[in-house]
Chains A and B, each alone.
Chain A
């Protein structure tokens, strides 16, 4: 039994009690006993960028509508007034151009935070993310590193159609040289964004539009301006012993709800919030699977060649003899996102899908 990795240790030093509190808070109505503060993901991101900009004058923000409009999703609200137009740049609609400028500025020593209004638009700039940013440290043999952060909402929103709903986690996570992060809660958002801005390598930071307005409890420690989460470590949101459910971003919330439903039926599910897609925390995932013997992996993106496929491969390679059931993979439907609300609902994983998959995994061998 591996049983290593003090799973408590991976979540940034949180105590068991706060973990439990957060767990119940996340699943239910998110308001409970007085004494804990709550923060929306939007405020968490805003405060993270604000603190990093004030700590290091080399950090600057660029993107469409980040300044005067206060941010397309208000993530950069107030930054223009505080830091001025020399550090918060409203760019023209030129993704390839301004992403390249950000990369060039990072080559020369600055620390840009480039916002894509959604990651769908990053496809117009993907050459710079991959070829100029991700590969440069390698091609130059370590002479030129690129301390840049590409951030923005990723994945499906509500009714925005096929061209605004794709999840890019799998695409970016397949590239060596990039670090890819996907926060879920406000604490994740704050800690991971601060870590990303301080990181000397290019980081793709995949947020989720529907999570921006959600409030999560946040500890005093997370509100500290030097708070940072380690890149490459997953968090166990809920401990369990029957089946491991791994997921990231918005699906963490769904997985936690599914875990509640499964608990009513006597199945104790362990929910892992990946937080970091590249590097993937294979150690935590495998340790969990070796404990529970069953895996259900969930993501919002397209199924083929997705993050789930990678996790399944990793588990089959490393923990095959511990598995009691075939690995289960829940992903978005293999179609461009439809517009109609009922079709969109069918195209994305729902709580019922996760519950069904977990039950399938559990009853296979019993």
Chain B
């Protein structure tokens, strides 16, 4: 079972093994699905969170949870119930179908600008976001469609937003890279890498402030998603420092898909093991296989519980892969076909399907029904978006300010926004 970071990268090729200690060798599990098995029974798994422990298996599990669910006579622990499994499956299928449909729509000219698709990384989004409540916040990057969907924004609203229609979640004013939803606490969608991290830290700061200063009952956590390229950006480190300093309820999730457009993570980073940077700032750093939704979910549970209990932030590095290019405009020529094939074989959806079927949690038929339902949902979303109107001319000047007196005073001496004709006609401000 490939638990060590370096071993899964064919790019390492003939380079020496970067580990200080050899990884723990485990007998292959009965199922080829990379679910939790023996790795969870390492007694010292908790100490692995700290910087000073020698590096063993980077994947650490949650013992208590496993012990409760462990089947006595089987080596495979069933980590989820049938309902949970179906929810996870449906969410990942929604993410995949939606993104595939986006690609189709883009090439047909219905969608435009920058569109960054999430294919292959669904396990990370589903694994984390399905553990959150509505009042928890999620902050993402430009690869945010699936984060918005997992958080509860409807497929119709996201698709309309991508088409630039007035029925979109941001009335067509945000676009692919700026998915905001106050209702679902999806705090965006940021185009600059690293920009979302301080904003997420601020949202976590607010949770703590509400508890301590405003004396409200607030257990909300924030999850910040970002990529491997962001981990070389100054803001990332500034926020690791402050989140640990103020013990904020935040989880920093690195979706390490090894590539930042065409820049390989290994070419741009002095120490590519991002999880190690957590302990340097005084928080646990965990590495998890991001192609395995159950593993991600177990780590996420631990991190979210830590945050809710007030124990502070966690840095989780998810080793994942994007099946498509950086964006739909990226020809994706620099990535090795062999590497792509290797990760395609570890498709998180196929893996979960196999797990559910083999562990008798769901039948093929039930899963097919879900797939069909999602297909219809996505088709319907496209039809809805197609049929929706574009924003009216008057919308151009709306929403610049919450208090629109910021447009100043008109020639008649009154605030311009008080003029009923203000947003009509041309954009003469």
Q: Most chain-B CB neighbours within 10 Å: which of A145, A233, A276, A283?
A: A283
- Do A232 and B202 touch (CB < 8 A)? no
- Do A138 and B399 touch (CB < 8 A)? yes
- Do A58 and B214 touch (CB < 8 A)? yes
Known: A104-B203, A283-B411. A98 touches B406 (CB 8 A): no
- Do B412 and A4 touch (CB < 8 A)? yes
* Closest B residue to A58 using CB positions: B214
| Distance between Cα atoms of A137 and B180 in the complex (Å) | 10
- Do A282 and B408 touch (CB < 8 A)? yes
| Distance between Cα atoms of A109 and B180 in the complex (Å) | 15
Contacts of B180 in A (CB 8 A): 136, 139-141, 143-144
* Closest A residue to B175 using CB positions: A139
Contacts of B205 in A (CB 8 A): 101, 104-105, 110
- Do B399 and A286 touch (CB < 8 A)? no
Give, as a whole number of angstroms, the nearest-CB distance from A52 to chain B: 15
Known: A97-B201, A128-B195, A141-B170. A104 touches B187 (CB 8 A): yes
- Do A200 and B187 touch (CB < 8 A)? no
Interchain CB contact (< 8 A) of B198 among A101, A110, A177, A318: A101
- Do B209 and A105 touch (CB < 8 A)? yes
- Do B173 and A104 touch (CB < 8 A)? no
| B398 touches A (CB below 8 Å) | yes
Contacts of A61 in B (CB 8 A): none
Interchain CB contact (< 8 A) of A143 among B181, B195, B204, B408: B181
Q: Mark B165-191, 1 if CB is under 8 A from A, else 0.
A: 000011111110010111100011111
| A99 touches B (CB below 8 Å) | yes
Contacts of B88 in A (CB 8 A): none
| Distance between Cα atoms of A196 and B139 in the complex (Å) | 27
Contacts of B174 in A (CB 8 A): 139-141
Contacts of A103 in B (CB 8 A): 198-199, 202
| A279 touches B (CB below 8 Å) | yes
Contacts of A101 in B (CB 8 A): 198-199, 201-202, 205, 239, 242
Which parts of A77-106 form the interface with B (CB within 8 Å)?
A: 86-87, 91-92, 94, 96-106
Q: Mark A128-142, 1 if CB is under 8 A from B, else 0.
A: 100110001111111
Interchain CB contact (< 8 A) of A201 among B192, B242, B403: B403
Contacts of B398 in A (CB 8 A): 141-142
- Do B400 and A97 touch (CB < 8 A)? no
* Closest B residue to A60 using CB positions: B209
Give, as a whole number of angstroms, the nearest-CB distance from B175 to chain A: 8
- Do A283 and B410 touch (CB < 8 A)? yes
Known: A107-B187, A279-B409. A100 touches B235 (CB 8 A): yes
| A176 touches B (CB below 8 Å) | yes
Contacts of A282 in B (CB 8 A): 408-409, 411
| Distance between Cα atoms of A105 and B208 in the complex (Å) | 10
Contacts of B214 in A (CB 8 A): 57-58
| A108 touches B (CB below 8 Å) | yes
Contacts of B401 in A (CB 8 A): 137, 177, 179, 200-201
| B109 touches A (CB below 8 Å) | no
Interchain CB contact (< 8 A) of B171 among A58, A87, A141, A147: A141
Contacts of A96 in B (CB 8 A): 198, 234-235, 238
| A2 touches B (CB below 8 Å) | yes
Known: A100-B202, A101-B198, A140-B180. A200 touches B403 (CB 8 A): yes
- Do B199 and A100 touch (CB < 8 A)? yes
| A51 touches B (CB below 8 Å) | no
- Do B199 and A132 touch (CB < 8 A)? yes
- Do B198 and A99 touch (CB < 8 A)? yes
Contacts of A33 in B (CB 8 A): none
* Closest B residue to A180 using CB positions: B406
| B358 touches A (CB below 8 Å) | no
| A280 touches B (CB below 8 Å) | yes
| Distance between Cα atoms of A103 and B409 in the complex (Å) | 28
Known: A104-B200, A143-B181, A282-B409. A138 touches B209 (CB 8 A): no
Give, as a whole number of angstroms, the nearest-CB distance from A55 to chain B: 14
- Do A104 and B402 touch (CB < 8 A)? no
Which parts of B92-110 form the interface with A (CB within 8 Å)?
A: none
| A278 touches B (CB below 8 Å) | yes
| Distance between Cα atoms of A179 and B214 in the complex (Å) | 28
Interchain CB contact (< 8 A) of B202 among A102, A138, A179: A102
Contacts of B405 in A (CB 8 A): 230-232, 279
- Do A179 and B195 touch (CB < 8 A)? no
Give, as a whole number of angstroms, the nearest-CB distance from A151 to chain B: 17
Contacts of A221 in B (CB 8 A): none
Contacts of B245 in A (CB 8 A): 92
Which parts of A263-307 form the interface with B (CB within 8 Å)?
A: 276, 278-284, 286
Contacts of A97 in B (CB 8 A): 198, 201, 235, 238-239, 241-242
Contacts of A239 in B (CB 8 A): none
Contacts of A231 in B (CB 8 A): 405-406
| B137 touches A (CB below 8 Å) | yes
Contacts of A128 in B (CB 8 A): 195, 198-199
Give, as a whole number of angstroms, the nearest-CB distance from A192 to chain B: 13
| A334 touches B (CB below 8 Å) | no
| Distance between Cα atoms of A128 and B139 in the complex (Å) | 14
Sample 24 A-B pairs with CB under 8 A, ordered by A number: A94-B238, A97-B241, A98-B198, A100-B198, A101-B205, A104-B200, A104-B202, A104-B206, A108-B207, A131-B191, A137-B399, A140-B178, A140-B180, A141-B170, A141-B174, A143-B180, A143-B183, A200-B401, A232-B415, A276-B408, A279-B409, A280-B408, A281-B408, A283-B413
Going nearest first, the 4 A-B pairs with the smallest beta carbon separation are: A104-B202, A100-B198, A279-B408, A97-B238
